[in-house]
């Protein structure tokens, strides 16, 4: 029995088996912690998790909306860029057309000015030719009168006589020139 008493005594002081009072207090404490966690902390944790979930989902929705807005802005920008390119092309074409018109007008003005200069030069040449012919006629007339006076032996100082002789002489020269031109033609 001693051995059984020593086993019983050893069993009552066994550190692996809890004392019944400690077991009751432990179970009661566990139940209190379980109730506190279940009734107070679990709803708060659930509420916090739901708020976080909503915040994350809301952030995702806002990010999606921001991405859609960015895509719309990008499309608008591209449309504006295309419109600006078309407008720039139209402006460049208009500028080229205006440049061509200006060049055409300048050419036309230059041609008109050139024709005017040529006509003025022709008129001036004709006037100088007429003046030279008159001067030449006067000189030829004076020479022919002097020569005729020497040949005839009398003075041809009468101006009416001089004028007739000179006119007759020049008419004969012009007639010869016309005859030679007709022969060569």
DSSP string, 56-104: HHHHHHHHHHHHHHHHHHHHHHHHHHHHHHHHHHHHHHHHHHHHHHHHH
The pLDDT-based confidence of 172 (bands split at 50, 70, 90) is: confident
pLDDT computed for residue 142 by the predictor: 72
Please give the model's pTM, rounded to 2 decimal places.
0.39
At residue 105 the predicted structure's pLDDT band, cuts being 50, 70 and 90, is very high
| Predicted local confidence at residue 151, as pLDDT | 66
CA angle 112, 113, 115 (to 5 degrees): 65
Model pLDDT for residues 24-63, shown as the tens digit of each residue? 999 999 999 888 888 888 888 899 999 999 888 888 888 8
Indicate the average pLDDT of the chain: 83
Q: Whose CA is closest to 170, among 137, 135, 128? A: 137
DSSP-assigned letter for residue 40: I
Question: What's residue 78's pLDDT?
Answer: 93
**Predicted local confidence at residue 175, as pLDDT:** 85
62-95 pLDDT tens trace: 889 999 999 999 999 999 999 999 999 999 999 9
What is the rounded distance in angstroms from the CA atom of residue 122 to the CA atom of residue 106?
Answer: 24
What is the spatial distance between Cα 145 and Cα 141, in angstroms, rounded to a whole number?
Answer: 6
- Residue 80 has what pLDDT? 93
Distance CA 21, CA 179 (A): 167
């Amino acid at each position: 029995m001693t051995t059984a008493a020593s086993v019983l005594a050893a069993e009552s002081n066994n550190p692996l088996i809890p004392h019944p009072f400690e077991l009751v207090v432990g179970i009661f404490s566990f139940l209190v912690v379980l109730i506190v966690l279940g009734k107070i902390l679990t709803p708060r944790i659930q509420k916090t998790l739901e708020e976080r979930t909503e915040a994350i989902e809301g952030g995702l929705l806002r990010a999606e909306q921001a991405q859609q807005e960015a895509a719309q802005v990008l499309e608008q920008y591209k449309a504006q860029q295309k419109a600006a390119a078309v407008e720039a092309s139209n402006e460049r074409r208009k500028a080229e057309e205006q440049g061509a018109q200006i060049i055409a007008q300048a050419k036309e003005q230059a041609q008109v000015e050139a024709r005017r200069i040529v006509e003025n030069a022709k008129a001036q040449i004709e006037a100088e030719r007429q003046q030279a012919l008159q001067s030449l006629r006067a000189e030829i007339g004076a020479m022919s009168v002097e020569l005729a006076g020497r040949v005839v032996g009398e003075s041809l100082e009468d101006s009416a006589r001089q004028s007739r002789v000179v006119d007759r002489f020049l008419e004969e020269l012009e007639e010869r020139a016309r005859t030679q031109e007709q022969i060569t033609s």
